[in-house]
Amino acid sequence: MNALRTTILLAGMTALFMGVGYMIGGTGGMALAFLFALGTNAFAYWNSDKMVLSMQGAKEIDPRSAPELYQMTQRLADNAGLPMPKLYLIATDQPNAFATGRSPDKGVVAVSSGLVKYLDSREVAAVIAHELAHIKNRDTLTMTVTATLAGAISMLAQFGLFFGGSRDNNNPLGFVGVIAMVILAPIAAMLVQMAVSRTREYEADKDGAEICGDPMALATALEKISSLSKRTVNEAAERAPAMAHMYISNPLSGARMDNLFSTHPNVENRIAALSQMASSVRGGGGGQTPRQRVNPIEANVRPGQSWRTPGTRPRPDDGKPSGPWG
């Protein structure tokens, strides 16, 4: 049902894009808008991951710089039947994460330094599993397409304000129609984009909980992320708000309600769904059985431990591994 809903929403976005072209230049404008949409999406298909990572200031990490995090991600990827994705670090104290890449073979998972600082090993594993679910479901490509089309629709609407009001361009509604289009088309595109994002987040929560085998770990991770994000500014996300829907939780200040203009579902609704999933599994009530849980001990991480972030000194407690950063 979610896949069908996403397909319908994407079709609506494409139709809206072509409708804006028709309002600007009639059937010829509609054809040009369609060709432009193909071009922008082709560019986004091949370059979206590089653009997103660059805009968020992410730096690649490897097994030497983060051995435990890398090992955990590898085990989760195996559990999900995916190739090992590339791992990136976002230098922000706000706990968050996102996935990108045009296909599972080109998958990328980016985590913030705040995520490994404030969340324990079970919760970090659950967040990574959520992002792997996005990669497996090809949500990263879907969301890139919707973001690209939404931006192009807004640009075309502004273009139509200057060139869509003349009488010789086959515009069916004249200048009044153009004014309405300039106001309403970007809003409609934003609503479709937000609807696609919220649809895929619920599905990734469910699939991510199955990948890590621990629905309540994802629930507590979402609760911590939501609470801490309200008190921490993610400067890279604020500079590129169009990418906010890619994060596991809204990284922007404000607009955190489950309404038409929210990029993410209400966190309480997501936690309730995960709690119901966990109860169904425990009670054998017909819920899907989670896949094998990633064992924190096998990953050389103590349960409940908050991992050390880069640039800090090891803990002088028991000489055990201090986290994915060495």
pTM for the model: 0.74
Closest listed residue to residue 189, CA positions, set 5, 6, 2, 10: 10
Closest listed residue to residue 107, CA positions, set 121, 88, 122, 92: 88
Sheet bearing 86-90, strands edge to edge = 58-61, 86-90, 108-112, 97-100
Alpha-carbon gap, residue 230 to 225, rounded angstroms: 9
Residues 32-87: pLDDT tens digits?
878 877 777 777 778 878 888 888 889 999 999 999 999 999 999 999 999 999 99
In the structure encoding, which two tokens stand for residue 321, read together? 């591994």
Q: How many other C-beta atoms are found inside a 10 Å radius of the C-beta of residue 69?
A: 27
178 pLDDT higher than 70: no
Residues 302-311: pLDDT tens digits?
434 444 444 4
pLDDT band at 95 (very low <50, low <70, confident <90, very high): very high
Alpha-carbon gap, residue 11 to 120, rounded angstroms: 41
Q: In one letter, which amino acid is 223?
A: E
Closest listed residue to residue 98, CA positions, set 318, 208, 248: 248
Angle at 201 between CA 197 and CA 202, to 5 degrees: 125
Question: Residues 6 or more apart from 59 whose CB is under 8 A from it?
Answer: 88, 89, 91
Which spans in the chain are helix H?
Answer: 2-55, 67-80, 113-118, 121-136, 139-163, 174-212, 215-229, 235-239, 267-283
Active site residues: 131
Residues 194-216: pLDDT tens digits?
666 677 888 899 999 999 999 99
Cα dihedral across residues 170, 173, 176, 178: positive or negative? negative
